[in-house]
Structures are given as C-alpha cells and as structure tokens.
Amino acid sequence: MTDTHALDATRAAPSAPLAVGMRDIVKRFPGVLANDAVDFELRRGEVHALLGENGAGKSTLMNVLAGLYRPDAGTIEVDGREVEFQSPRDAIAAGLGMVHQHFTLVPSLTVTENILLGLREPRFRLALGRYEARVGALAEETGLAVDPRVRVWQLSVGEQQRVEILKMLYRGATILVMDEPTAVLAPQETEELFRTLRSMTERGNSVVFISHKLDEVLAIADRITVMRRGKVTAAGVEAAGMTKRELARLMVGREVLESLEKVAREPGPAILELDGVGAISDRGLRALTDVRLQVHSGEILGLAGVAGNGQSELAEVITGLRPCSGHISVNGKEVANRPVIEVIEAGVAHVPEDRTGTGSAPNLSLTDNLIMKSYRTRPIGRGWTIDRVVARHRAEELKEAYEVSAPSVDTEARLLSGGNLQRLILAREISSGPGLMVAVQPTRGLDVGAIETVHRLLLAQRADGTAILLISEDLDEILSIADRVAVIYEGRVSQPIPATQADVAELGLLMTGVTPSGAVPGDDGGPRTSGAAA
Amino acid sequence: MPRRHLLPVRIVAERRLEAPRGLGLLTTLGGIVVALVISGVLIAVIGGDPIGSYAHILRASLGSSGVLSDTLVKATPLIFTGLASSIAFRMRLWNIGTEGQLLMGAWGASAVVLFGLLPAGTSPFITLPLMMLAGFGVGALWAGVAGWLKARLNVNEIITTLMLFWIAQRWIQYWVFGPWSEGGFQMSPRFPREAWLPRLTDFASAVPDLGGLTVHLGFVLALVAAGLIWFLLSRTRKGYEIRLIGDNPRAARYAGIDIGRNIILVMLISGGLAGLAGASEISGVVHRLQDNFSPGYGFTGIIVAFLARFNPIGVVVAGIAFGALILAGREIQPAGIPAMIQGIILFCVIASDVFLRYRVRLEAR
Amino acid sequence: MSLELAVAAGVTAGTVLLFAAIGELFAERAGVINLGVQGMMFVGALVGFRVGLQTGDAWVGILLAMLAGGALALLHGIVSIHLQADQIVSGLALTFLGTGVALVLGEGLASAGSGALLPVYSVPLLSDIPILGPAFFTNQSVLVYVGYLLVPIASFWIFHTRPGLHLRAVGEQPAAADALGINVYRVRYAYVIAGGALAGLAGATQSLAVVPGWHADKTFIAQGWIAVALVIFGQWKPGRTMIGAYLVAFISRLALDLQAPRDIFGLENPFFYYQPSTFFLNMLPFGLVILVLIVAAREANRKRIGAPAALGLPYVRGERGR
C-alpha cells in the first residue's frame, strides 16, 4: 500500500482547533459498561483511527457522538462548542456524518431517495429529476461513482457504501465517522476507499476510522486511539511511530498474534463434491454459476471472497436450504435438492453465518438449542418422546466441554454473548460427529479470544478427519488455518491452490474478478501490493 | 436548555436481561386486576353498579353446587377452544377462526345422527365416540384448509380462518333452515338419547344429590385433552418442533424441520380441538343443532389462551374463570358488557407484558 | 333490480371498505399492523350516529367518529409501539374492546330511526355517461365522492411527496430512517392514528349513509377484516385496494339481489324458490375474500413483492448485540 504518512505530517498540526472533543464519556447497557470515562479528540483534517477488539466500546463511543445514544455522563464539543445531541438529526446538523457497519439504506428506494431521506428539502413535492442531477454532480465531484436512479437493492456492497458516504456529504458533513468500512471490501476497493478518505481530508474534512484491523489502521491513520473493555489504552498516538505488535498489546493486553499449531496432513478421500452447481438468489438473480469443488477428509478448504458474491447461497445449497442445479454429493450420496433432514443425516454439519437468526432459537434454553440436531435419535429421542433427563445431562456435558459461559443449561440462548453463542453452536455441530462441516463467517464479530477458540476447534476437527469448508471474508483467517484456498467471485469459484502458495495480492485480484494473465501463482508481473506487516 | 417536567419523578425503563420466574403469573394477575378496575369504572360511568355486578358474577357462578356445575358446563367448550388457540399460537399460527371450526365440529357430530348413519337404538358407546370423532375430524379439516393455504401459498391465516367462520355459520344455517329443519323451525330434531353425552343428573335416580347438575362428560374429555396437549408440548419430539418453529422458524428449517407439514398438522389439531368444543356442546348441552348455539366460545377461547400464556394447565383455570364470566354475564345489562370486559382484560394483560421486558423504576429528579 | 343500481349500491357499500382499507394501508406502510379495524369501525358507527342524532348535524357526527377511531388507534399505538407488545394481539384485543364498548353505549338506539342525514349528490355531466354514470355519479352520498378523491390523494402522498418518502422508509427500514433523524415513533403514531380515524370514518359512513341507523351487532359482519385483506390484495397501493373494495362490495350486493326476484333472465330463480339455498349465496363474499387473498399470494410469490419489510416488528433503537 502506498505510504502517505510523510505527506501528511505537516497537515494535522497539534495547534489546529479540535473538530471533536469528547470528555469523560460514560455509557452503560444492561449488564455491561461500554464506555468508562472515555476521552477522545479529533483534529481538523486528520484521519484518526479508533482501534479495538469487538466489544471494546468503539462503536458505542461513536454512536454517542452520532447522536444515537445519550451518554450517561460526559461532554462533547464540536469545533469548540459544547453540544448535546438529542437525536441523530442534531449530530448531522452539527456536521457529523456516520457511515455504519450495517448500512442504513432502504433497499426498495432509489439512491436519490435514500440520500434525500430525512432532509427538509424538498419541502413537499418529490420532484426527483432535479435532485438526481444534484446527486450525480456530487458523485462526480467526489469520485464516488454511482447511478442516482438505481434502486439500492440492485447495487453491490461497495457501491452501497459509496451511497452512504454521499448521503453524509450531501448533508454537509465535514466530520465523517466510518465504522469498520473495509469489512465488506476487497483489497482493491479498500485502496480506493483510502484514496477517497485522503482526498476528503485534503479538503479540510476530518475522518474517524473505526477498525480492528491493525494493517489498515497503520496504513491510513494519522493518529490512533486504542480502546479495550470500555477504556482508552492509548489516546491519539501518532501512527508513524507505532508497530503492529505494540498496537496488538494495547488492544488485547498481551501480545497476541495468532500462531496456532497446524500440522501438515495428507488429505483423505473427497467427502464433498460439487459439479456444475448453479443457483438463484432470493432476488431472482443468478448467484452461483457452474461451481466445481471438492473438499477432502482431514482438510480445510478456505473459500475467500467479499460478501455478496454467492457465499451464502453456496452454503445453503450444500446444506439443503436452497434449490440448485447440478450435483452435490457427500460421501457419494447425492444431496442436492434433498430435504434438509436428509442432508443432516448424511453427516453434514452447518455453522451458519447468522448465529441468532438461523443458528439458534433465542428464547429457548441452552438445552433446547443443543438438541436441535440430535433430538430425533437415541438416546435423547425415544420414539415419539424426548428424554428430558438425558437431554439435560448431555447439554451440561457439552456446556462444560466447550466452555460456554452461562448461568445454567436452562438459560435462554439470547442472553449469550456472541462468542459464547458460537461456542454453543460449534458444540452442537461438532458433537454430531459430522463427516463434512460447512462453516460460514464463523468468527465474525468475535473478540480475539473467541476467534482463537473457534480456530482451535476447527483444527481439531480437521485432525479428526472431518472435511471442512470454511467460507470467510477474512483473508487472514483463511490463510492461517486453511490447507487449500479458493476465491468466489460473482458466483464462480476459482481453482483451489495450496495455502502455502497463496499470495494475498493475487487473491485480492481474484476477489475483485481480475484473472491474472499468468497461471502460476506469484508470478503475475503486476504491481506487488501485499498485506505488508509493519 | 433545561426541559421543564410535570412530575417530580422520572420513569426509567431498562431492558431486562431475564425475567424472574413467576413474574409472568404476577403480571397476568396484575393485568386482570387493573382490567377489572377499569371495567368497574366504565360500568359505573354508564350508570351500572360495578360492585354489584362483580358480586353477582361470583354468586351466580360459584355460589352453589348447582351454579358451579353450570359454570363447568360453560367452561367445557372454553377449555377446548383455549387449547385449540394455545397450540396454534405456540407456533405463531394465528388461528382466529376457531369459532368456525367449533361450528363445523358441531355439524359433523350432528351429521352422524341426522344423516341416519347409525340405526336407531345403537349403543351410546358407539354413537358418542363416533360423534366426537366426526366433530374432531370436520373441525380439523376446516382448519386444515386454512393451514394448507398458509403452508403452500403463505396466505394470511387470520383472515382465511375468519372468513371460514362466516362460511361455516351460513353452512349451519342452510342445514338448520333447510334439510334438517324440524317442522319449519330453525333447529334440527332433538337427538335420540344415545347421542347425549352423559350428565351427572342422569344418575340422579341412584344418587339423588346429583339431580339438576348438568355438567357432562365433555368436561372430563376437556381435562383429558388438556393433559394430552400438555404432554405433547413438553415431552414429545413434535412438541419440541412446534416450540422451535414458534420461536425461530429459520432455525427450525436449518434443523431439518419441515415447516409446511407442521403448519398443516398443528392447524388440524387446533381445528380438531375446536371441533370437539362444538361436538361436546351439541351432544352434552343442546342436544340438537341450531343456529347461534354458541355465544362466541371460539373467540373467548382466544382470550383464555392468552391469559394462560398458551399453557394447557393454565387454560383449564382460565377456562373455568371465563365460564363463570359468561354464565353470570348473560344476566347483566347492558348486553355488551361481558364482551367489553373481555376486551379490556386481554388488553391489560398484553400491556402488562411490558414489565417482563423492561424493569421500570421511579427516580426522583 | 338493474345492474347499474346494483353497481351503484356496491359502490356505496364499498366506500365503507375503502375508507377502512386505506386507513389500514397507511398504518401498514408505516410498519404497524392494526387488527382492531373492526372494533374502530363499530365505535365510529355508533359515535357518528349518536352524535349526529343528538346534534342534528351528521358532519359533527363524522368528525367525532373519526376522533373516536383515532383515540382507539392511539391505544393500539401505545401498546404496540411504546410497550412493544405483539401488534396482532393488541389489535385483536381492540376489536373485542371496540365492539363491546359500541354495543354497550348503543343500548336502546336501535329504535332511534335513521338519524341525521347526509346530502346526496349527482354530478351533472358525469352522471350521463352510459353505465359508469348511473353507477358512480348518480345519487351517491357525498362521502362516496370523498372516497373517489381519497384514493389519488393517498397515492400522491405516498409516492410523490417527502412525507410519503419518510413513511415508506419507516415501514421498510426504520433503522435507516432513525439514523437520518426521522422520528420513527412519531411517524408510526401519526399513521396508526390516521388509520384509526379513517376506520372511524368508515364506521360513520355505514351508520349515516349506507344503512342509516344503529343496528347493534348487525351493523357489521366482516367489513373490518375484509379491509385488512384488501390491503394485502392491493399490494399496499391505494388504487388497487380501491378496486378490491368496490369489487367485494359489489359481489356482496349481488348475492343479496339474486335472492329476491322470481326469475333471472327468464329462468326460475332457485334462490327464490328454495329459501335455504340463499345461505350459499351469503357465503359468496367470504369465499371471494379468500380467493382474493390466494390471488394476491400467488402474485406476490411470483413478482417478489411483499409487505413493507418492517411490518409487524416493533422498532427498538440500538438493540445491543446485533
């Protein structure tokens, strides 16, 4: 990545007035103190990164700034004036624009309609023509190309993000807060975004960049504030002087750069085979085209790709949740278009990407959640009835073995934290002794400790001989635990290559649809842009 | 700029993480009490006598063994329809038209007699089970239609079951005004003795004290049904599936459960239970098919189900309570008051649910 | 009875359905499902009639009927928006409540005759158009014409105005609207109350224009529920909903008319000669509604159109741990 620090050293001088000053901010939620007397300062014209693990309190802090939450204590100043935001509208009026991690766009409305939402102009009549022109002009000017007349559900994720930014700029935002913006972008798109952010600061705007990715933070930020468990561990330190190691320590309290034991293995026979698989998405568009894939016993096949390229649909056709064309077989048994129960009985375990929406029943107990796959057979299922004593006993065993932290097995699943819920789901899926496991975004939203646990469990399954299809947006994750790597882009899957031979730059190209001219990995003759370690 | 406030206290509501056991019961009872107070005020406002009305309701429903028996008679169909609603609502299937399934169940039971399927003088041990079976079956099918439409086409079951209720009403009117009309009157001929569910008073010759007590076997059947449904929901695989679908249909699908089949199955059971309500009422109380024999047992059953929080045991208790209300309420003027009270009770109970989700405190400013 | 008169009667009765359905359409577009429509219509019918009777002015009755409907809807709003109880149950409770209250307060009014009347108009030029004229523009109550105007106004409001844009956003993605400073609660309350007011208007239309007088529990059979179904059939668009309203009302009217004459087109009318068979005719409107819903469901499956995405879901800002 291009190094821009040298160019900006003079711009964000300490003597410039503060764009934002937050002091002693306290915010509580039931059961957790999200912000514990936090101070945060943003200077005019700088890119300031807010770094921390998931759950550290960064999003909460910025949500307070954006007017979504009212702080329980503390003050906020914008451009030197103390402000109290009663609602997001006040924050926007003060020049603060927040682009959330989960986009707040209305899918069925057009780009222009989304941008106009909440504004006082037009007064009454919605004469879109004029505004579409305005939006188009703004898009040109800022280099955020998007068609103002298109309905949002038709846009790619990257384009939707541009609409979100345009939304804020249209309202005259001079302070932009971006919450984990690169989670949904390929490396090249991330570069583009960074260029956009730079040009914005050149025009005098200020940017807060929330992230948990050390590489990116070091690449884009002028200064960094690190948070851990609701407190600030490093306030506004210059990025130029920091190393990844040190940031990691500030984030986590110990030096953690993951290094897990991965024993090289000879993969066994192919357990999962896909041939010529095609599928249609919920919107009626083609999601998968001619997918050919094999996953062997005892190996982890990592499928990298930016969200929205068919990953969900792929997981669904394998696990029986979506119809498809072509052939899918598990251990030789055809499972394409079979009822879900048959796929389960063929030995397929599924760790879904949506923990709360698909993977668990929020108001049922841990026990009830744990028997979701095993209630039909002995010893828990007996004939028509369920042996509750046995079920409870088994649940207690699993809870302990997988370290699910909760008051008891009768606790309702919705009370579990993300990490614990994922442990619960893994406990359930692994204990069914599957031959194939499909894990989709298994570590999304988890803190470093939980991520480590998940990876450990997956590697243990691999050692046991399970075939694992790991679908993830996190390239680092895939490169650290997968044996072979493939990329999915617009419903097509590339030829898998051994992880040891994988090159991030090339994978990045594949993730954005560019096929390298040469077939040999690592020898494409193109610009070398790697995820450089500091 | 400081805001001015009306009261010196502030209401602070915090989302709860979990609700203590027993809070559900407490809030339900609290809601009922509030509802009775509100109803009392409204009754007073329109010139009635609230205390007198309530006292009358208690006396007229529980005051003696005679009226207690009458209360249980009224409770019988309510328990059935309460169960019918509960099992459907557990799966978030809004079977609102249980009244229609009740009517069709009554028709089915009557058809066994009035179509002359059995020769005269057949033993009640054959006639009655057949009638109950027919009642369950026809009621089940009636709901099953709506269930099938929901499962296959995702057609809103609230409206289809309701429309089917009005269709059922007219279906019965046709038979009762037409082919089965007795002497041009709007009712069928009286059923023969073997088609009557046995009542306590039938044994008065052996035990004189039982004279006049019209509670019938249907009440026992209702209790048995409650027990079976309780067992189904808490101890069986099917019950687990029903609860899982009700909580999170996507997770249920992910777990391999066929939601469409379960929708149809639950609607069949629900409709069957409501059908039994009709069959037992026809066979145990009215002894003939006529228009308007039900004062809305199906609809009241919905409220019973909510009060019981869809718990079969609670349905028995709430069913008896509402049986008392309906029994005594018939004599209260003006006529709309019991309906109004029912609406207020349901309203207050669901409003009181907020205390399960939030902990509310008063804080001095 | 001529076809034109039957259509005209259908239009008159259909106006009741129309008002209630458009009201429900607004509420559902904002994301709140209101099943208390039937109860609000009963209350509106009672209030409209009684106040009209006592003041001699039907318009005052209509105004108060709308207020009453709106007040009941406010209750529904509080329970389902602020207290976040289940919207379906809350609506049901209101139907019980509204119906009961109306019956209680309407004691003794059945004998009070037909009350204050509303003017009836024929539109000069339009009523001469063949077929359409006598049906839609001749001797119709003023409220029917209000109905005609309501539909294009509602359409324009929803799709071509700024407040309409906000309405659609709140019903589809309240989180997005909230993040942009739109007060989701306020918008929902506004449209739920408006829906209730329109339901009250529908009730008053029934007791003041369609079948003047108070008929206790016979005032309505299923109109409130049919209105809810019509919104689904109309795919949440006012124009289509209107078509459904007039259609259902017309068929209901037809079912009634087919029972009276001795012959139909020269053939003996079975419904006249065998009275009990008329009950099958009476089933027609309800069967039609089921049919209408099936058609709507199949279309929705094919074209992937659906209800406003957030319909029926309470909005809680910033739920922790999404």
**What is the DSSP track for A252-293?**
HSS--------------SEEEEEEEEEEE-TTSSEEEEEEEE
Neighbouring CB atoms inside 10 A of B259's CB total: 16
- Do C96 and B174 lie within an 8 Å CB cutoff? no
Residue of chain C whose Cα is closest to the Cα of A414: C321
Question: Model confidence at A8, in pLDDT bands (50, 70, 90)?
Answer: very low
pLDDT at A375: 92
Name the pTM for this structure: 0.84
Decide if pLDDT at B296 tops 50: yes
Q: How many residues does chain C have?
A: 322
Bond before A379 cis per omega within 30 degrees = yes
- Residue contacts between A and B (CB atoms, under 8 Å): 77
Q: Convert C10-45 to b/e letters by CB count within 10 Å (16 or more is b).
A: bbbbbbbbbbbbbbbbbbbbbbbbbbbbbbbbbbbb
Question: The tokens of A433 are what?
Answer: 């002794």
Q: What is the mean pLDDT of residues B318-344?
A: 80
C318: confidence class by pLDDT, cuts 50, 70, 90: low
At residue A526, the pLDDT reads: 35
What is residue A525's predicted lDDT score, i.e. its pLDDT? 36
Phi-psi region of B108 (alpha: psi -120 to 50; beta: other; left: phi over 0): alpha
Least confident of A201-215, A415-429, B276-290, C303-317: C303-317
> Can you tell me the mean pLDDT for B32-58?
81
| Residues of chain C with C-beta less than 8 angstroms from the C-beta of B338 | 100
Testing the interface with C: which of A104, A417, A444 to mutate, by most C Cβ within 10 A?
A: A104
Instruction: Render pLDDT for C176-211 as a digit per residue (tens, 0 to 9).
Output: 888 787 889 999 999 999 999 999 999 999 998 888
The CB density around residue B364, as the number of other CB atoms within 10 Å, is 7
Q: What is the mean pLDDT of chain A?
A: 84
Name which of C157, C188, C156 is nearest C171 in CA terms: C188
pLDDT at B275 over 70: yes
Bridge partners (DSSP) listed for residue A270? A296
Residue found by looking up tokens 């989709």 in the block? A440
> Which pLDDT score is estimated for B245?
95
| Average pLDDT score over residue span B178-187 | 84
Confidence at residue C304, expressed as pLDDT on a 0 to 100 scale? 65
Distance between CA A521 and CA A497 in Å, rounded?
Answer: 8
B155 contacts on C by Cβ (under 8 Å): 290, 293-294, 297
CA distance A519 to A529: 18
Higher pLDDT, B230 or B48: B230
Mean pLDDT for the stretch of residues A279-303: 90
User: How many angstroms separate the CA atoms of C121 and C140, rounded?
Assistant: 6
The answer, yes or no, to whether residue A523 has pLDDT greater than 70, is no
- d(CA B361, nearest CA chain A) in Å: 14
Q: Which of A30, A100, A124 sits opposite C179 (nearest CB)?
A: A100
> For position A142, what pLDDT does the model report?
81
Report pLDDT for B5: 56
Tell me the pLDDT tens digit for each residue of A334-351.
Answer: 999 999 999 999 999 999
Residue A506 has pLDDT above 80, yes or no: no
Mean pLDDT of B236-258: 94
Contact C103 B96 (CB under 8 A): no
Average pLDDT over residues A104-116: 90
Where do the domains of chain C lie? 3-303
Is the pLDDT reported for residue A190 higher than 90? Answer: no
Report yes or no: B67 and B296 within 8 Å, Cβ to Cβ: no
* pLDDT for B7 beyond 70: no
Quick one: pLDDT at residue C307? 83
- Quick one: pLDDT band at residue C212, thresholds 50, 70, 90? confident
Give the integer Cα–Cα distance in Å for C119 and C322. Answer: 56
Query: How much of chain B is helix, strand and coil, in % rounded to 5?
Result: 70, 5, 25
Does position C262 have pLDDT exceeding 80, yes or no?
no
pLDDT category at B116 given cuts 50, 70, 90 is confident
Q: In the structure, what pLDDT confidence band is assigned to residue A7 with cuts at 50, 70 and 90?
A: very low
Answer yes or no: are the C-beta atoms of A105 and A58 closer than 8 Å: no
Residue C2: predicted pLDDT:
72
Sequence-ordered list of residues with C-beta below 8 angstroms from that of C61, at least 6 positions apart, any chain: C47, C48, C49, C50, C51, C52, C53, C55, C115, C116, C204, C208
Across the interface, whether the CB atoms of C276 and B163 are under 8 A apart is answered no
Distances (CA, A) of B8 to A511, B5, B365: 60, 7, 6
Q: A508 or A531: whose pLDDT is higher?
A: A508
Instruction: Tell me the shortest Cα–Cα distance from C311 to chain B, in angstroms.
Output: 14
Q: Which of residues 428-467 of A touch C (CB under 8 A)?
A: none
Return all residues near C189 (Cβ < 8 A) that are at least 6 apart. Answer: C74, C77, C81
Per-residue confidence (pLDDT) for residue A101, from 0 to 100:
78
Contact between chains at A89 and C309 (C-beta distance less than 8 A): no
Distance between CA atoms of residues B134 and B137, nearest Å: 5
Nearest CB among B159, B351, B357 relative to C225 is that of B159
Q: Give pLDDT, residue B334.
A: 63
Q: What is the pLDDT of residues A20-78, one digit of tens each?
A: 999 999 998 876 788 888 999 999 989 999 988 766 788 889 989 988 888 999 999 99
- Structure tokens, B309: 């929080």
- Work out the average pLDDT over A180-199: 82
What HEC string does C39-93 produce? HHHHHHHHHHHHHHHHHCCHHHHHHHHHHHHHHHHHHHHHHHHHCCCCHHHHHHH
pLDDT of residue A276: 93
CA distance C150 to C21: 11
Cα B244–Cα B248–Cα B254 angle in degrees, nearest 5: 80
Give the pLDDT mean for A195-206: 88
C-alpha distances out from residue A106 to A110, A154, C310, Å:
8, 12, 11
Residues B257, B241 contacting (CB under 8 angstroms): yes
pLDDT band at C317 (very low <50, low <70, confident <90, very high): low
At A460 the three-state DSSP class reads helix
Quote the minimal CA–CA distance from B203 to chain C in Å. 40
* B235, B250, B255 member nearest A386 (Cβ): B235
Among B103, B93, B96, B111, smallest CA distance to B139 is for: B103
Q: Give strand ranges (E) for chain C.
A: 120-121, 140-141, 263-264, 267-268
Q: What percent of chain C has pLDDT over 70?
A: 97
Assess whether pLDDT exceeds 90 at residue A515: no
Q: Which helix (H) or strand (E) holds A229?
A: none
Q: How far apart are CA B121 and CA B193, in angstroms?
A: 9
Cβ separation of C176 and A283 shorter than 8 Å? Answer: no
- Cα gap C312→A529, rounded to integer Å: 49
pLDDT at residue B299 is higher than 50: yes
**B355 φ, ψ (degrees, to nearest 5):** -70, -15
Integer CA distances (angstroms), C295 to B167, C234, C235, C302, C306, in order: 19, 11, 11, 11, 13
pLDDT higher than 70, residue C156: yes
Neighbours of chain B (3+ CB pairs under 8 A): A, C
Mean pLDDT, residues A202-208 taken together: 90
Using one digit for the tens of pLDDT, what is the confidence trace for A112-128?
999 998 888 778 888 88
Nearest CA in chain C to B93: C88
Residue A325 above 90 pLDDT?
yes
Give residue B121's pLDDT band: very low, low, confident or very high (50, 70, 90).
Answer: confident
What is the per-residue pLDDT for A511?
74
pLDDT bracket for residue A259 (50, 70, 90): low
Torsion of CA B243, B245, B247, B248, to 10 degrees: 150
Here the tokens at position A301 are 């096949």
Chain A nearest C-alpha distance from B18 (Å) = 8
| pLDDT level of residue A531 (50, 70, 90 thresholds) | very low
**pLDDT value for A5:** 42
What SS3 state is found at A231? strand
Choose, out of A358, A415, A421, the residue to mutate when testing the contact with B (most B CBs < 10 Å). A358
Q: Please give the domain boundaries of chain A with CATH numbers for all domains.
A: 5-95+174-252 (3.40.50.300), 109-171 (no CATH), 268-347+434-534 (3.40.50.300), 357-432 (no CATH)
By DSSP bridging, strand B9-15 and strand A497-498 are unpaired
CATH pick for C3-303 out of 1.25.40, 2.30.30, 2.20.28, 1.10.3470: 1.10.3470
Please state, for a pLDDT cut of 90, what percent of chain A lies above it. Answer: 38
Query: Is the pLDDT assigned to residue B333 strictly greater than 80?
Result: no
Q: Coil, strand, or helix at residue B247?
A: helix
Q: Torsion angle, CA of A508/A511/A515/A519, rounded to 10 degrees?
A: 60
For a pLDDT cut of 90, what percent of chain C falls above it?
Answer: 50
Q: CA dist A228 to A23, A35, A208, C277, Å?
A: 17, 10, 17, 78
Q: Which residue has the higher pLDDT, A197 or A8?
A: A197
The answer on pLDDT for A311 being more than 60 is yes
Instruction: Please provide the average confidence, as pLDDT, over all residues in chain B.
Output: 88
* Domain B72-333 -> CATH class: mainly alpha
The answer for A 152-191 residues in CB contact with C (under 8 A) is 167
Q: Which two tokens stand for residue A484?
A: 């072979």
CA distances from C191 to B347, C91, C132, C188 (A): 21, 15, 33, 5
Report the SS3 class of residue C299. Answer: helix
Residue A434, pLDDT > 70, answer yes
B296 Ramachandran zone, left/alpha/beta (phi>0; psi -120 to 50): left
pLDDT band at B1 (very low <50, low <70, confident <90, very high): very low
Instruction: Say yes or no to pLDDT of A532 above 60.
Output: no
> Are C321 and A108 an interchain contact pair (Cβ–Cβ within 8 Å)?
no
Alpha helices for B50-156 (secondary structure H): 50-62, 65-90, 98-114, 124-153
The whole-angstrom distance between B60's CA and the closest CA on chain C is: 21
On chain C, the residues whose CB falls within 8 A of the CB of B303 are: 96
Shortest distance, CA A524 to any CA of chain C (angstroms):
41
> CA C211 to CA B75: how far, in whole Å?
37
Asked if the Cβ–Cβ distance from A358 to B18 is below 8 Å, we say no
Those residues with Cβ within 8 angstroms of residue A524's Cβ, 6 or more apart along the chain or in another chain: A505, A506, A509, A516, A517, A518
Give A469's strand partners: A301, A438
> Reduced to 3 states, what is the DSSP secondary structure of residue A300?
strand
Q: What percent of chain A is predicted at pLDDT more than 70?
A: 90
Residue with tokens 């602020």: C82
pLDDT beyond 80 at B298: yes
Average pLDDT over residues A391-395: 93
Question: CB–CB of B136/B142 below 8 Å?
Answer: no
Residue from the list C90, C282, C294 with its beta carbon closest to the beta carbon of B149: C294
Mean pLDDT of chain C: 87
| Interface chains of chain A (3 or more CB pairs under 8 Å) | B, C
pLDDT band at C38 (very low <50, low <70, confident <90, very high): very high
Which pLDDT does position A129 carry in this prediction? 87
* CA torsion through residues B180, B185, B190, B196, sign: positive
pLDDT of res. C153: 96
Q: Does the pLDDT value for residue C32 go beyond 50?
A: yes
Burial (CB < 10 A; 0-12, 13-18, 19+), residue A31, is exposed
Tell me, what amino acid is at B284? G
Does A357 sit within 8 Å of B18, measured CB to CB?
no
Q: How many Å lie between the alpha carbon of A405 and the closest alpha carbon of chain C?
A: 16
Shortest distance between the Cα of A200 and any Cα of chain B, in A, equals 34
Residue A265 pLDDT level (bands cut at 50, 70, 90):
confident
Element (H, E) at C3: helix C3-29
